[in-house]
Structure 1
Amino acid sequence: MTSHFPEPTMIAVNGVELEVFEAGRENAGRPIVLCHGWPEHAFSWRHQIPALVAAGYHVIVPNQRGYGNSSRPAEVTDYDIEKLSGDLVGLLDHYGYEDATFVGHDWGAFVVWGLTLLHPKRVNRVINLSLPYQERGERPWIEVMEEFLGGDFYFVHFNRQPGVADAVFDENTDRFLRNLYRKNLPPAEPGPGMAMIDLARAGTPLGEPVMSDDELAVLVAAFESSGFTGGVNWYRNLDRNWHLLVDVEPVINQPTLMIYGERDTIAKSPNLAEFVPNVEVVDLDCGHWIQEEMPEETNRAILKWLGDTA
């Protein structure tokens, strides 16, 4: 890690061990938990941690199961939404908190949405970046994606061809992450084949780097150690999650901040307020890696909203 990033602690929760980076313990009583996405790491919140501590928060940033030095269970089903949200509940119990504000980006946002549905009393406020609330439709998510986006769409490919993409990512860790973490990408029509595999093998990255070489090296070292399968297994539980959420009340009533990147390839939700009635939306002029592409603007949006909803 870099010199200013917190040192990790291994914490046993929910049958696994999580590598947790903590800052602002002097602010005990005002917890905020930051949840990374794929293929990310707790380090992706490096720009937010000091700002949140300075604003008086006890900041808790886990590498979730499958990432970094956290446990990487072998069974695919060990990465479903009940397990992932249970890990976060376990973190609250470890620190002695009844509830907390949860922040998620990308897959971390999916987990925060799911946590709030499954354990509403443990979440007092929600801040999610990039991925809006996903409505549970009449058919499982992967089934629908396969019909409309085809078998090469990476969500579908991860499920229908288990192990194939993981191996390519593991063989090309530096290249894949260097090619993936880009901003200001030129517009391009989607081509044939599996886009993530092609990206992992591409010789020349497009656009501009999101992070410095030293910062990228932190991610590369982490994934060279952990591999990618644990994180990809989150995708392999999408349809299982659809079934697990069948009887859950789908409306989230907690105060919520949704931050979109205007140039993100993930679509905005047209009916977000229907499922998240107490939501405020902020749009930033960036791509997918919102908190890293525009850290100061992200911090301002988060801190203003936290102050407004205190």
Structure 2
Amino acid sequence: MSDISSGKASDQIEFPEPTLISVNNVVLEVFEAGRQNSGKPIILCHGFPEHAFSWRYQIPVLVAAGYHVIVPNQRGYGNSSCPTEITEYDIKHLTADLVALLDHYGYRDATFVGHDWGANVVWNLALLYPERVNKIINLALPYQERGEQPWIEFMETLFGEDFYFVHFNKQIGIADAIMNENIHRFLHNIFRKDIPPAPPAPGMLMINLARAVEPIGKPLMEDSELSVFVSAFELSGFTGAINWYRNLDRNWHLMANIKPIIHQPTLMIYGEQDTIPKSENLKNIVPNLDIVSLDCGHWIQQEKPEKTNRSVLKWLAQQNA
């Protein structure tokens, strides 16, 4: 196996073979390693527009540290089910998938790690099923406090109708089609690092990325790695993944009566160059909180794998001491 923990890209990276597992009325494509460490589960949850492969640098390191590592392609991604109804991607379905995955393996609880949208699912999982989550490690996206307005209305007021969250909801199918026609270009253009700061360009971000001839910044990964993501979205298309966004207002209503206090020990990892702002109030919502900031952009665990791994292992060791 190549030296994955160092973060060096290599065609020789060994990635687990997938298993298709039926849970919660869908089939999830799950990549599993370290079954010999049964009893210490850790579940890694990807974001948008990603894949379980996003965690390739973390899997062998966590196995070596004694964990049973379980990495699903969540619904809408890869070879996992892509339901046609938009509402089947709401937060109740996404969190119930993870609970059903725990049940499948016979685990009462697990440590959950989430990046981007995966982090959002993990935050809500801890609120809806607190007894199933023993520790949290979230990257890039802090808990998003529920305001007085539904999310899309709030975002349209703040950012305008071209903001991609709003566009996904108000012009259903438009972005999906353009992204599906330009899968390689879109993924090649979005998975970048060392992006110079600049004001947002006019238009809809995801459509711009699907059409841009010259990407900015540096490529995040080798072509051989990017091809894993490209092949996955050639199979699934982007509609299932985008449908997660189309449930934001539904989620706002579904979570209305849930008190937003997360008691589990939590590590929040930020990228200093990420455009997602840090939360000023996270400690009020997550009282048992540690924070790490790394000098990188949004794709933290792929951009700085060695530093991510070191931060995660150090924190887990402290928690388990």
Identity %: 69
Hey, what's the Cα distance between the residues in 2 that align with 1:250 and 1:200? 36
Secondary structure of the corresponding residue to residue 156 of structure 1: helix
Structure 1: state its 5+ residue gaps: none
The Cα of 1:139 is off from its aligned counterpart by 1.4
Deviations 1:116-167 (A, max 9, x none): 1100000000000000001111111111001010000000000000010011
> Which residue is 1:149 aligned to?
159
Change (3 A) 1:7 1:68: same
Q: In the alignment, which residue of structure 2 is the partner of 1:255?
A: 265
Name the residue aligned to 2:102. 92
Structure 1 runs of 4+ with >4 Å offset: none
1:309 alignment partner AA:
Q
Q: How many residues align?
A: 310
Matches within 5 A, 1:33-182: 33-182=43-192
Give per-residue Cα distances to partners, 1:167-204, cap 9 Å, x unaligned: 11100000000000000012211121111101110001
The runs of 5 or more residues in structure 2 that have no matched partner are 1-10
Matched, 1:204 2:228: no
Distance 2:45 2:256 in 1: 24
| 1:183-262 matches, cutoff 5 A | 183-262=193-272
How big is the shift at 1:2? Answer: 6.3
Partner of 2:21: 11
Q: Secondary structure at the match of 2:186?
A: helix
Q: Distance in 1 between matches of 2:208 and 2:165?
A: 14
SS for the counterpart of 1:146 is: helix
Q: Distance in 2 between the 1:212 and 1:71 partners?
A: 28
| Residues 111/270 of structure 1: CA separation in 2 closer, same or farther (3 Å cut) | same
TM-score (norm 1): 0.99
Instruction: Please point out which of 268, 276, 285 is paired with 1:266.
Output: 276
Measure the CA separation in 2 of the matches of 1:87 and 1:195. Answer: 30
Counterpart residue identity of residue 157, structure 1: H
